[in-house]
Each structure stands twice: as C-alpha cells, then as structure tokens.
Amino acid sequence: FAITMDQLQLYEDLGKGNYGTVKKVLHKPTNVAMAMKEIRLELDQAKLNAIIMELDILHRAVAPEIVEFYGAFFIESCVYYCMEYMDAGSMDKLQTYGSDNPLLPSDSSPPDGEPAPFLRKRTGGVPEVVLARVVGSMTRGLGFLKDELQIIHRDVKPTNVLVNRRGQVKLCDFGVSGQLEKSLAKTNIGCQSYMAPERIRSESLHTSPTYTVSSDVWSLGLSTIEMALGHYPYPPETYSNVFAQLTAIVHGDPPELPDGFSDAAKDWVSRCMVKRAEDRASYQELLKHPFLQQDRTRTVDMVGWVARALENRDRMHKEKEDQNGSS
C-alpha cells in the first residue's frame, strides 16, 4: 500500500538532523505509530520521482536489525519517508543516560560555581554487556545489508542506531538512493565526523570517493568507542574546528576503548580502527570474534537497561526544568 499525508496524524518532533526533521505520526488506516522524516530538497519532479523509486528497495531490507520501512512520498519539494517508530530513541542519547554510574546525587546541591549535576560532564557510557549486544546487532545488520542487498550503509553513527523498549536495536538511514545522496551531498560535513581516514582523504582531494564496505567498519568502531565513553572519542580540543578534527582522524593514532573494558572488547574495537582500509576486519571476522561470541551465550537484561536509561532521562529533564523554574 502507498502512504499519503492525509492518512497521517502528526504528533511531536522526535529530533532534528542536518537535513530535516523526524516526527512521530499515526498512520490512521492501520493504527500504526510511525516515524516520519521530512527532507527538504530543491529538486524537480523527475528527480524526486527517481528518489521515491530508489527508496523502494527499502521494502526488501527486512531483518531484525534494520528499522522497517513503510513508504515514501513527496509534496512540493519535500521527501517524506515513513519508518518504524522506535520508542526509546537513538543511542546517542541512551549512551549518556544508560551509563553504569550516571547518577550524581540529585539532592546534593553543586558547590559554588559548579554546574548543576545534570550539566556536569558525565563519565562512563554503556556497560560492556549492553555494548556487546548493541554492537552485535549493528554488525549483523551491516552484514545483512551488504550480503543480501549489496548496500553499504555510509552513515554509521550512534544517532542512526535506534532502540525500543523491547530492547531491540536497529539501524536506520543507510544509503540506498544515489539521487538522494547526490542531492544531500556536501551541504554539511558536520563537526563530529565518523568518516574513515580514506574517505576524508578522497573528499578533501576531490577524487572519486573510495568508499568501500570497510569504511563502515571504521565508523562502527568509532561509534562503539563513543557509546562506551558516553561522548564523541576525539579529544575536545579537536572539536573546535572541522579541519583540526579531520587532521586528527587522518594523521593521529586511532582512538581505543577506555580501561575498564575487557581485552576481548578492546581487541574487537582495534580490529575496526585500523587506518589502512584493506587491513580492517570484515563483518564475518567481527562476528566470530570472542567479544561477540561471548554475547551469544549470555543473558543481558536489555529491557531493564532501556527502562532505566529512559527513567534517568526523564528525571534529569525534570530536574533541569525545576532548576530553570526556581532560578
């Protein structure tokens, strides 16, 4: 069936990216909650039609680790894209609220001059058993896209890893439409780059992109470190300008998992964070690695972890509101 705008009841915004807004919507004929992404493009009808046709391949991307695609349509120069609504949001937020030690006592008032607890820089991200589960899903999802659909993701990062309250972890926003990719290209490099060194090099030299599946493996490793730390891995002084940051990625030593993680986890990440693309691990190797093998035989309370992370989020939002209200 084809989805149309008049079948949708619009709810709240779920987030904003570089290219548009994602809204929660209700598909009235089926009573299914969906996430609708709006992408503004200045394109003619033919190109918009081409994008809608290319997105159709998403109907074949059906796997437990991939966010379900329901359909796309355009109105004027906007493409609307409807997908499975993931009610716990993306890992970039869960990683900060789902840490082992996220909770600074909420009743203790901060010393003079210190930021309030919820504003303090947080330590710790996702605990290892949860990390292994999340990263295992990501690796299987990426392997599925490559093996079954010959798709390279091209945008692996924590905001594109979605979670629901059932504890499922799924990937979204992978590159299936060449026309869409071309239309979005270069509008924004973003200040936090997940691009592999070879990709940064080829973009800065304006040579044809040397994007292969192993470029996604780098982004997978970098996302893993980010989720483990609870923040983007390259040191803050390189955030300040895009050039310094890209230089650090291309010329610096690759980041590693912090202490406190097992040797297996550290080794797994180091197999992703290899600067020479040809030497990086394949998905098959990553799946056979002890770090992900251990995960297969372990029970992990993902449902409980997600619930606690969301509770933390709601409590911290409330504290922030109360603080704003009383000051």
Tell me whether residue 95 or residue 224 sits nearer to ligand ATP (CB atom): 95
Tell me whether residue 23 or residue 271 sits nearer to Mg ion (CB atom): 23
164: tokens are 């629901």
Residue 89 interacting entry, from Mg ion, ligand ATP, none, C-beta within 5 to 8 Å by type: ligand ATP
In angstroms, the CA 256 to CA 67 distance is: 29
Q: Find the catalytic residue in 92, 155, 173, 216.
A: 155
Sequence-distant (6+) residues with CB within 8 A of 10 are 23, 25, 36
Tell me whether residue 12 or residue 107 sits nearer to ligand ATP (CB atom): 12
Q: Is 37 among the annotated ligand-binding positions?
A: yes
25: tokens are 């919507």
Residue type present at position 286: L
Sequence-distant (6+) residues with CB within 8 A of 308 are 98
Does position 192 interact with Mg ion (CB under 5 A)? The reply is no
3-class SS string, 141-180: HHHHHHHHHCCCCCCCCHHHEEECCCCCEEECCCCCCHHH
CB of 16 to ligand ATP, least distance (A): 6
The 82-121 site mask, x for binding ligand ATP (CB under 6 A), equals -xxxx--xx-------------------------------
Judged by CB under 5 A, the chain residues 103 through 162 that form the site for Mg ion are 160
CB of 15 to ligand ATP, least distance (A): 2
155 a catalytic residue: yes
**Strand-strand pairing, 69-75 and 20-27:** unpaired
CB of 68 to Mg ion, least distance (A): 15
CB of 54 to Mg ion, least distance (A): 18
Judged by CB under 6 A, the chain residues 128 through 167 that form the site for ligand ATP are 155, 159-160, 162
**Strand-strand pairing, 8-16 and 20-27:** antiparallel
DSSP string for residues in 17-85: -SSEEEEEEEETTTTEEEEEEEEE----HHHHHHHHHHHGGGGG---TTBPPEEEEEEETTEEEEEEE-
Does position 277 interact with ligand ATP (CB under 6 A)? The reply is no
Closest C-alpha among 203, 173, 172, 201 to residue 185? 203
Residue 6's alpha-carbon distances to 2, 61, 73, 96, in angstroms, are: 12, 26, 12, 37
H or E element at residue 15 = strand 8-16
Does position 173 interact with Mg ion (CB under 5 A)? The reply is yes
The 14-33 site mask, x for binding ligand ATP (CB under 6 A), equals xxxxxxx-x-----------
Residue 90 interacting entry, from Mg ion, ligand ATP, none, C-beta within 5 to 8 Å by type: ligand ATP
CB of 130 to ligand ATP, least distance (A): 18
Stretch that binds ligand ATP, among 78-86, 119-127, 238-246, 305-313 (CB under 6 A): 78-86
Nearest residue relative to ligand ATP (C-beta) = 17
Judged by CB under 6 A, the chain residues 161 through 200 that form the site for ligand ATP are 162, 172-173, 190
64 alpha carbon, distance to own chain's centre? 16
Question: Residue numbers of the site for ligand ATP (CB under 6 A)?
Answer: 14-20, 22, 35, 37, 67, 83-86, 89-90, 155, 159-160, 162, 172-173, 190
Catalytic residues: 155
Annotated binding-site ranges: 37
Q: What residue ranges bind Mg ion (CB under 5 A)?
A: 160, 173
Binding-site annotation, residues for ATP: 37
